[in-house]
Chains A and B, each alone.
Chain A
Amino acid sequence: MTWLADNWRTVLDLALSHLYLAGIPLVVGLLVSLPLGWAAKRWSRSYPALITTTGLLYTIPSLALFVLMPGVLGTKILDPVNVVVAMTVYTVALLVRTVADGLRAVPDHIEQAATAMGYRGLRRLLGVELPLAVPVIAAGLRVAAVSNVSIVSVASLLGVSQLGDLLVDGYNRVIWGELVTGILACVTLALLLDLVIVTGSRVLTPWLRVQGGRA
């Protein structure tokens, strides 16, 4: 742990960029997934196509995606934007399905009630369907968060620095303290994101916490 004591400033900087590279895509990915997931539910024929396509994106190896990005975006190879966009793609790959399933899980009698009251379009989505889908979406978001934190480490191979640097450097130069710090920092970051998501979900779903809730 002396290694950490000597290098904590560097670790903090790396952790912040790691958070940025993993967190921003999480937010952007969610915002992109909402309309896509909604479309997958709304036009049920589009569901299999959308889910398969987005699911396939997740199978592209991360390194390949990072390397492809400059070609697609016209950015420089060292630009962190490459990583942000690639991570957003992964997030969308995971979340479209989650959002669609969350919206589809809204009980039919509640959908019918919404229709009968005259709810339509965006108002219906924001007022009825989305709030009820929050628990499912939050669960998907937690998976995406952990996945993002771990995949982002690979960006070190492209020279975009974050906590992955500690792993690569620690491994290459056999510095155990650095290696362990890198791992622990990644885990801590993942837990922190998880905590934020769980808390957010709880705040957004007060009705699930009342006695006998869940109906």
Chain B
Amino acid sequence: MIRFDAVTKQFPGGTVAVEDLSLTAPTGRITVLVGPSGCGKTTSLRMVNRMIQPTRGSITLDGQDTSRMNEAQLRRGMGYVIQHGGLFPHRTVLDNIGTVPRLLGWDRTRIRARSNELLERVGLAPELGERYPAQLSGGQQQRVGVARALAADPPVMLMDEPFSAVDPVVREQLQDEFLRLQGELGKTILFVTHDIDEAIKLGDQVAVLRVGGRLAQVAEPAYLLAHPADDFVADFVGRDRGYRALQFQETPRLPLRSEPTIVLGEQPTEPYAGWLLVVDDDRRPVGWVEPHRIGTRTVSTGDLHRGGTVATEHGSLRAALDAALSSPSGRGVIVDASGSLCGTVEAHEVLTAIEGTRRPERRGSPA
């Protein structure tokens, strides 16, 4: 657990980067610091591993005051993913990953084994290990940054916009993998971003900072979207927050209807008007067809309309609504955990379900 207690940082020039910050990052959880550029996110993060000394206030790590700890030891015990990568250009990928273990004096074979293991963990091919950072794509470099921070298996991870330098598709992918990894590792994570969507997606708890380094609100993502503490937070979380909040509402028993289907590679047997759902041999939906267009031919992949998204049975209302809205037939496809078809649902049915879930929220408080 990382605890900020009334922490203020004023830089020599007079800039107050962080003001009176009190915040707790619980053990094993992801706490996201989010806010506009220059609001003191990086400064807050760096006060934790004492790259920056607080002017006032204290930061404790599991109850111990960090200002009394040995600096280098404190840092080697915390993974740090730096804004803009910060990989050592003169070291190969494997040597970059092994940086902290080397500083901790592990023996060579152990470092090598650990580095290779992490390379795989973050989804990089083994042959990339001998490359230099300049020979990697931006997304690959960010993965190496994460692997390097994880190398000595520190209980605490400080991550400063680790996924900011990549395109949205890759970012999404990195975020998903990050969540999966965190599911396995359960680190105490302080994560900085200026992207509210990222904060909402990744955070168990989100702290919104305003310029001048003051905490505007800290809450669980769903609560933040539903109950912004003031105009600043409301503005910052954005206009479509109502819609985005749906992603935290688990689908209640949606009234699923059974959907007529045709298996890919078979012929339509009876005349059928409108859209027909095509599934594969394992009843996994692959797309929609309009039977009158293909007549008596067999359905091939070329005939498929693939526009619709697919929602899972116990996923979010947002996904269910999106499936209905994006489906050419107007019927949203719902599948089970293994991807097999459960049934379909129409947009108005999802909306009715949403109405039914409106109830007071539980946790989170304005700062």
Contacts and interface: CB of A to CB of B under 8 A. Distances in A.
Interface of A: 109-110, 112-120, 123, 128, 131-132, 205-207, 210-215
Nearest to B84: A109
A112 to B, nearest CB: 6
B134 A118 contact: no
Q: Is the interface of B mostly helix, strand, loop or mixed?
A: mixed
A213 B134 CA distance: 5
A197 B131 CA distance: 26
Contacts of B89: 110, 132, 207, 215
16 contacts: A109-B82, A109-B85, A110-B88, A112-B82, A116-B49, A116-B51, A116-B80, A117-B75, A117-B99, A117-B148, A118-B74, A118-B100, A210-B134, A212-B135, A213-B132, A215-B134
A115 B75 contact: yes
Given A112-B51, A117-B75, A117-B100, A131 B90 contact: yes
A113 B82 contact: yes
B66 to A, nearest CB: 14
Contacts of A119: 103
Nearest to B78: A116
Contacts of A213: 132, 134-135
A211 B135 contact: yes
Nearest to A134: B90
B90 to A, nearest CB: 5
A115 B76 CA distance: 10
B247 interface: no
Contacts of A132: 89-90
A154 B250 CA distance: 87
A110 to B, nearest CB: 6
A2 B84 CA distance: 64
B72 interface: yes
Which 8 A-B pairs give the minimum distances between C-beta atoms? A113-B86, A116-B80, A118-B75, A118-B76, A215-B134, A207-B132, A118-B72, A109-B86
A206 to B, nearest CB: 8
Q: Is the interface of A mostly helix, strand, loop or mixed?
A: helix
Contact of A128 (B73, B82, B88): B88
B103 A214 contact: no
B96 to A, nearest CB: 9
A37 to B, nearest CB: 18
B305 to A, nearest CB: 41
Nearest to B145: A113
A110 B89 CA distance: 9
B133 interface: yes
B21 interface: no
A207 B76 CA distance: 26
B83 interface: yes
Contact of A210 (B74, B99, B131, B148): B131
A211 B132 CA distance: 10
A115 B51 contact: yes
B345 interface: no
A205 B73 contact: no
Q: Which of A110, A117, A128 has the most CB of B within 10 A?
A: A117
B49 to A, nearest CB: 6
Interface string B85-125: 11111110000000110010000000000000000000000
B103 A118 contact: yes
A205 B90 contact: yes
A207 B90 contact: yes
Given A116-B51, A213-B132, A109 B76 contact: no
A119 B158 CA distance: 17
A215 B140 CA distance: 15
A212 B134 contact: yes
Given A211-B135, A212-B135, A215-B133, A109 B80 contact: no
A205 B91 CA distance: 10
Nearest to B76: A118
Given A128-B88, A212-B134, 17 more contacts: A109-B84, A109-B85, A113-B80, A113-B82, A113-B88, A115-B51, A115-B75, A116-B49, A116-B158, A118-B73, A118-B76, A123-B103, A132-B89, A205-B90, A207-B90, A210-B132, A215-B89
Contacts of A114: 88
Contacts of B84: 109
A53 B272 CA distance: 92
Q: Which of B89, B133, B135 has the most CB of A within 10 A?
A: B89
Interface string B264-306: 0000000000000000000000000000000000000000000
Contacts of A115: 51, 75
Contact of B103 (A109, A112, A117, A211): A117
Contact of B87 (A113, A123, A205, A212): A113
B211 to A, nearest CB: 22
B65 to A, nearest CB: 19
